[in-house]
């Protein structure tokens, strides 16, 4: 494996501190955007909650792990561009019909995390592989998991010579190389490829189909907010929809949350106010300021809305606790009751849990300080959350301070498009499913109407973030079962038409 001379751009202490600032959910931070992930880490860490939602898990019995010698830089011809790193991918060939049948290949495009979690809770591939006789392939995103060039992620993000290769264009070029390599290795030249992704990975899936239509026959882009860039979507779209979720469940719950922020500040302003708040909310460590508590609650409400999955329906859980508090309970007592209902059986609550950035948060902080600039904010009294308008000037200043370079806020719409999407895409794009659940706040930046006969929007009123591509369960509601069947029927049509075209040409 080749290596590059390391040029550290920031002291480790400064980087760690800055990542804490970037990864916090502080409503005062211009970098604050809700996480784009198929599942939020707090859900994955909460084993009892995770097991309730995902009673079934994918079997690892037929999974084989491989590493592809990947090109560092697909777009330049400098000496360092030819450096390579090992990129992980996983194959499940249990149901594959084989190359002789031109059986399809389903490729899951990894996003801002190691691929391991996806193997346990992404269900669209294993659930549908028997029907399609499909080969299942999962490719890890560069700079995450075991696919980090040359060093640890923390070192790579600090390194000015390395982190420039950490972007979406390089990532989907990686996927193109791996898919072409696999088809050649398996003698599966005529096997159609369907790419699947969720959240940021859903954006990658749709962009992959646009950029590499000769490699992927079609794409399923689940909960992909490709329109949350520039000024296409109102900046308060996310938090307005999260607010709507709570208000629809309970008007009194919504009002209690809306009034709680000023009450937290009022109590904190008293001589022993932070001690009172620490005791009332059973924080594991003493609060340093009221913002810590507000950040924690802010994130809790956003996560509950984004991942309002059945059968638990977290928004209903939170509001059930708030509305079910004993008569006479004050506002903060009701807010705490909502916290306990959502996260029960805790001796204390780690309100500083965002101060210890994970691998995903370290990587995503660079991505959103380079090209993934989603202008998400909220004004005064336009949501149930405290005001936090998006300030691009401040955003750029913070990214300069952290990485020494400014973000490129208009690059995504320049490279992939987004403005006037129906007018543009119906002329040259095809075979993309944009699936959304309308309770997912990120659906405010998603494609919610058909753009053409083959650029299709499939959504459910009660659905949440990436729910359609998660593992199917016997307890799934009928509307979710129907959504998945619609998606499978569309993909079936793509593949049948492909086989007909292949037969006609050969």
User: Is residue 3 annotated as part of the catalytic site, yes or no?
Assistant: no
Q: 446-454: which pairs have CB atoms within 8 A and are 24 or more residues apart? A: 446/223, 446/224, 446/225, 446/226, 446/227, 447/224, 447/226, 447/227, 447/421, 449/422, 451/421, 451/422, 451/425, 451/426, 452/425, 452/426, 454/430, 454/494
Q: Report how far residue 325's alpha carbon sits from residue 117's, in angstroms, rounded to the nearest whole number.
A: 36
Of 204, 242, 247, whose CA–CA distance to 223 is shortest?
Answer: 204
Q: Is-contact 432 456, C-beta < 8 A?
A: yes
- What is the C-alpha radius of gyration for the chain, rounded to an integer number of angstroms? 23
Q: Which of 250, 278, 465, 468 is catalytic?
A: 465
Q: Report how far residue 464's alpha carbon sits from residue 106's, in angstroms, rounded to the nearest whole number.
A: 23
User: Is residue 161 annotated as part of the catalytic site, yes or no?
Assistant: no
Q: Is-contact 195 431, C-beta < 8 A?
A: no
Q: Is-contact 75 173, C-beta < 8 A?
A: yes
Of 203, 202, 208, 199, whose CA–CA distance to 178 is shortest?
Answer: 208
User: Is residue 465 annotated as part of the catalytic site, yes or no?
Assistant: yes
Q: Is-contact 412 371, C-beta < 8 A?
A: yes
Question: Tokens in use for 415?
Answer: 């490279």
Of 201, 72, 219, 62, whose CA–CA distance to 147 is shortest?
Answer: 72
For strands 105-109 and 193-198, give the pairing. parallel
Q: Report how far residue 296's alpha carbon sits from residue 22's, in angstroms, rounded to the nearest whole number.
A: 14
The CA-based angle 338-472-311, given to 5 degrees, is: 20
Question: Tokens in use for 276?
Answer: 């009172």
For strands 84-92 and 63-71, give the pairing. antiparallel
What would the 3-class secondary structure string for 394-452 be? HHHHHHHHHHCCCCCCCHHHHHCCECEHHHHHHHHCCCEEEEEECCCHHHHHCCCCCCC
Q: Which of 174, 440, 444, 468 is catalytic?
A: 440
11: number of Cβ within 10 Å: 10
Question: Tokens in use for 212?
Answer: 């590499």
Q: Which of 199, 290, 365, 370 is catalytic?
A: 199
Q: Which element (helix H / strand E) includes 197?
A: strand 193-198
Q: Is-contact 336 280, C-beta < 8 A?
A: yes
In the numeric block, the tokens 């038409």 are attached to 497
In the numeric block, the tokens 């890890």 are attached to 140
Q: Catalogue the active-site residues.
A: 199, 440, 465
């Amino acid at each position: 494996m080749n290596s590059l001379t390391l040029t550290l751009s920031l002291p480790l202490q400064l980087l760690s501190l800055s990542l804490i600032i970037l990864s916090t959910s502080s409503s005062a931070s211009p970098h604050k955007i809700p996480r784009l992930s198929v599942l939020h880490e707090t859900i994955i860490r909460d084993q009892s909650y995770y097991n309730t939602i995902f009673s079934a898990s994918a079997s690892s019995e037929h999974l084989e792990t491989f590493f592809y010698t990947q090109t560092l830089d697909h777009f330049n011809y400098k000496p360092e561009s030819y450096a390579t790193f090992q990129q992980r991918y996983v194959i499940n060939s249990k149901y594959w019909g084989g190359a002789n049948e031109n059986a399809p290949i389903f490729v899951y495009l990894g996003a801002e995390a190691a691929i391991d979690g996806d193997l346990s809770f992404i269900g669209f591939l294993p659930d549908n592989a028997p029907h399609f006789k499909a080969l299942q392939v999962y490719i890890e995103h560069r700079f995450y998991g075991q696919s980090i060039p040359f060093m640890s992620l923390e070192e790579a993000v600090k390194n000015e010579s390395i982190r420039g290769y950490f972007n979406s264009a390089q990532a989907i070029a990686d996927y193109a190389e791996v898919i072409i390599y696999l088809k050649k290795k398996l003698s599966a030249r005529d096997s159609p490829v369907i790419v699947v992704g969720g959240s940021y990975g859903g954006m990658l899936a749709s962009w992959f189909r646009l950029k590499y239509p000769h490699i992927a026959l079609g794409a399923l882009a689940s909960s992909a907010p490709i329109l949350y860039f520039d000024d296409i979507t109102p900046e308060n779209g996310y938090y307005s929809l999260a607010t709507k979720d709570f208000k629809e469940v309970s008007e009194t719950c919504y009002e209690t949350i809306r009034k709680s922020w000023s009450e937290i500040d009022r109590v904190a302003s008293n001589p022993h106010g932070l001690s009172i708040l620490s005791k009332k909310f059973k924080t594991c460590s003493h609060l340093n300021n009221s913002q810590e508590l507000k950040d924690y609650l802010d994130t809790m409400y956003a996560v509950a809305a984004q991942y309002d999955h059945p059968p638990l329906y977290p928004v209903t859980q939170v509001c059930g606790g708030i509305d079910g508090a004993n008569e006479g309970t004050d506002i903060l007592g009701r807010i705490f009751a909502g916290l306990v209902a959502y996260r029960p059986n805790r001796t204390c609550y780690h309100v500083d849990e965002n101060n210890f950035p994970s691998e995903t948060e370290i990587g995503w902080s660079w991505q959103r300080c380079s090209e993934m600039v989603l202008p998400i904010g909220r004004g005064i009294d336009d949501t149930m959350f405290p005001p936090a308008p998006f300030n691009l000037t401040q955003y750029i200043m913070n990214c300069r301070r952290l990485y020494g370079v400014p973000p490129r806020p208009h690059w995504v719409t320049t490279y992939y498009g987004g403005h006037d999407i129906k007018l543009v895409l119906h002329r040259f794009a095809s075979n993309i499913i944009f699936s959304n659940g309308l309770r997912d706040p990120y659906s405010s930046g998603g494609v919610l109407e058909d753009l053409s006969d083959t650029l299709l929007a499939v959504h459910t009123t009660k659905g949440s973030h990436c729910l359609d591509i998660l593992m199917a369960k016997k307890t799934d509601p009928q509307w979710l079962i129907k959504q998945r069947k619609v998606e499978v029927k569309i993909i079936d049509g793509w593949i049948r038409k492909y086989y007909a075209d292949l037969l006609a040409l050969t």
